[in-house]
Each structure stands twice: as C-alpha cells, then as structure tokens.
Chain A
Amino acid sequence: MARLENKVSIITGGSTGIGEATSYRFAEEGSKIAIFDVSAEAGSKVAQAIIDKGGDAIFVRVDVSDEKAVEAGVTEVVDRWGKLDVLVNNAAITGVNKFAHEVTSEEWDRIFAVNVRGVFLCTKHALKPMMAAKRGSIVNFSSIYGLIGNDDLPPYQATKGAVLSMTKTDAIC
C-alpha cells in the first residue's frame, strides 16, 4: 500500500534518529525524498540506502538556520522533481541542560536558530511551491516538552512550545 506514491517530500534532519526512520518509511510509501541535513556523510548514506532499495532520494546539505541554504535547497528540489508536496520539519538540537540563570545568550540563540528559525525558514520557502500548487502538507515536530513543563532542558522546551504555536498559526494563516 503506497500512500505517498509520486509525492515529493523534504525531511529536515532526515539522516539520523526519528528523521532517518521517517525518510525510510516515506520511501517505502512511494515518496521521493530530499534529505536536508548538516551531516553530508550520514545524509548521503541514507539517500543511497533508499536508492539501493529502488527508491528515489537526494541529500542536500542544508543548515536549516541559514536562509540562503534553505532557499537554495527548496529550489533544487523543485527544479529536480517539479513540485513539493510535503515538508517534514524534523531537524532540531537539544541544546544545553541549564536553568535560565545559567544559559548564555549564545546558547539560547543557537537552539532557537535551529529549532524555531529553522522551522520558520523551511516553512517560508516551502510555502512558495505549495501555494502555487494550491496544496501541500507541512508536518512539524513539537514534543511533550512543548506541552508540559519540567526541569529538563529548559531552552529546548521553550523552542518546542514555539513550534506548537507556529503550527497552529500557520494552519490558520
């Protein structure tokens, strides 16, 4: 049962962990996959593994916090396959496990750059081909840490709360 037959999907952070599993599962369901990741070695390996199983995949080196890289990556995908159906905003880092009085501005900015600006930038540039086609699907990864509070990874929790909020507002807008 190929539920994503002929779809074109970008999976950010698609070379490790949940992103890697998502890449393989999407490929099994028939989607063409563009893996956006900062690790060329891991990303190329996953893309090659999908191709070896008869799928269609490319690795594109994209730091999701870098707008030029995101824009170029989306353009490369649309140039190659002619459209973009699905964006999975999976790329994220856990950041430092410190309380507010210990976190430096640099540490705070770094995790927000990847986890929040990354989701914003990928959404922003994916929306162009999706709005032109009048259809598309964007899947964001929040976390239980976007819903509840506890004493683990405070900056990470704030980023995941932001992702949840962006998901609702982007759905409405």
Chain B
Amino acid sequence: MSNSVKDKVVIVTGAGRGIGAGIVQDLAANGARVIIADLNKDASEAVAAEIRKTGAEAHAVSVDVAERQSVKAMISEVASRFGRLDVMFNNAGISQTCPFLDVTEDDFNRIMKVNGLGVLLGTQEAARQMIAQGGGGKIVNTASIAGKQGYPLFAHYCASKFAVVALTQAAARALAEHRITVNCFAPGVVATELWQQLDREFMEHGLTSKPEQAINEFSQSILLGRVSAPKDIAGVTTFLASDASDYITGQTMMVDGGMVLI
C-alpha cells in the first residue's frame, strides 16, 4: 500500500485556478503526470508552465466539461499522448449567489449543466477509457458542504452539488466491477476567486455592505477558526488519487475545517 501518485496520469478539470490549481500542484509535486484542463486555455497554460518549472510533467488542454464532444476529445488526446488515464478529477464548477425566490430557469440550468452534467460526462468518458485500457482507475469529484446542506442563497448550487454526491454514489456502484473507484470531497469555504465573485454578488444583492463581509460571516461556524486555502484540500485529493485510497469508493470526504459534521 502506497501513498504515491508517482507516474500516474491524472486529469484535473477546472485546474486553471482555485482549488483545481491547488490539486494539480500537489499531485505534480508528488510525481504525477498532470493534465491541466480548463475552459480558459491561457489559465491552464500558465499553471502548466509553473509546474514545469519545478521539473514535473504538466500538459495543458482546453475543455468545456458540459459538452460531451469536448470531454471526449480531451480524453482521447490524453490517451494518445500519455498512453493511459489513471485518475480523473471532475473539479470544474461554477457558482452564483442568488436569493431563493429569484433563481431563474437560466440560472438553474447553467449551474446544473456545468456542475452536474459536467461530472456525469467526465465520469462516463473517463470510465470508458479506463475500462478500455483495463486495470481500473480512480474518479474524484468536487462536491461541497453545499452537497450536504441546503443554503438559501445558493439553492441551485446546492442542488448541483447534491447531484455530484448522487452521481458519485451511483457511479461507484456502476463501475466497481471494473475496479474503478469513485469518490468525492467536500470543501467548505476556500479563499479562491470563486469566493471573491460570491462576495461581490452578496454586495450587489444588498445582502452585505462591504468586501469580505460575506465570506467572514459565512465562515463564523468553522470549528478550526479560519477559511481554507487550496493547499488545505490537497492532502485529501492527493490521497484519493493514490493507491492508499484503493478500498474507498462511493464516499464523500468532508474537508471543511469542521462546518458540516456527518
């Protein structure tokens, strides 16, 4: 049993910034061959360039996780370039602050398409590659505390993250016979660009009056007394990509500093 991810071929979607960038940096530091996939090619190229400076292997690709053809093309490019795919992180996601009564069909569909459908497509296409190459594989999805609790200002985001947990459980049951494990992790408040956006939206809705008030108020219940950084998440994500987690499947690992106790 090893904690190593050395030489594993790992795709991380949404890795051009935020939690995704933190995930790939730690994987690369531990010897993985990482593929930084993002809608924004400039962002993924920049992360890849930083990682290559450390001597690790990193490759940037452009992907829209909500479009099957785009996901298929990415997996196929990775398979031909690296010969295989060992671990798929379906991490790309979006959010929006919106009072419950104001959520529109467009808001709901947009969030669900990226966060929910994106995880389904990424899991399906990665699994097809893993089944074809044989030997199993690992799929790790980014859920959230919003996948365990409903918050009134993030109703559609919560629905999409509950969907991630459901897809994780369903896929774990569906893919176990192929020795593919499927797990997700659930961050709490992570200081990334996403929270800067949410913080702005709180103010736009008149819910808060000054910058960082939203993140600070939302973070008051964190047992460990501080918001997290992407590196706080990386211990669990690298573990879930390593052989040390081989006997874990269908699970949601909370990495939230103690916000949701289940």
Residues of chain A whose beta carbon lies under 8 Å from any beta carbon of chain B:
1, 3, 168, 171-172
Contact = CB atoms under 8 A, between A and B. Distances in A.
B223 A172 contact: yes
Contacts of A1: 3
Nearest to A25: B1
A171 B258 CA distance: 8
Contacts, number: 9
B101 interface: no
B261 A168 contact: yes
A78 to B, nearest CB: 24
B230 to A, nearest CB: 19
Contacts of A172: 223, 258, 261
Going nearest first, the 8 A-B pairs with the smallest beta carbon separation are A168-B261, A171-B258, A171-B223, A172-B223, A171-B261, A1-B3, A172-B261, A172-B258
Given A3-B3, A172-B261, 7 more contacts: A1-B3, A168-B261, A171-B223, A171-B258, A171-B261, A172-B223, A172-B258
> Chain A binding site: helix, strand, loop or mixed by DSSP?
helix
Contacts of B261: 168, 171-172
Interface string B2-26: 0100000000000000000000000
Contacts of A168: 261
Interface residues on B, range: under 10
B1 to A, nearest CB: 8
Nearest to B235: A3
Nearest to A168: B261
Contacts of B3: 1, 3
Interface string B236-262: 000000000000000000000010010
Nearest to A172: B223
Interface string B179-197: 0000000000000000000
Contacts of A3: 3
A13 to B, nearest CB: 20
B231 to A, nearest CB: 15
B106 to A, nearest CB: 39
Nearest to B224: A171
A135 to B, nearest CB: 11
9 contacts: A1-B3, A3-B3, A168-B261, A171-B223, A171-B258, A171-B261, A172-B223, A172-B258, A172-B261
Contacts of B223: 171-172
Nearest to B244: A25
Contacts of B258: 171-172
Nearest to B30: A1
A3 B244 CA distance: 14
Nearest to A169: B261
A42 B258 CA distance: 36
Interface centre among B3, B258, B261 (most CB of A within 10 A): B261
B261 to A, nearest CB: 4
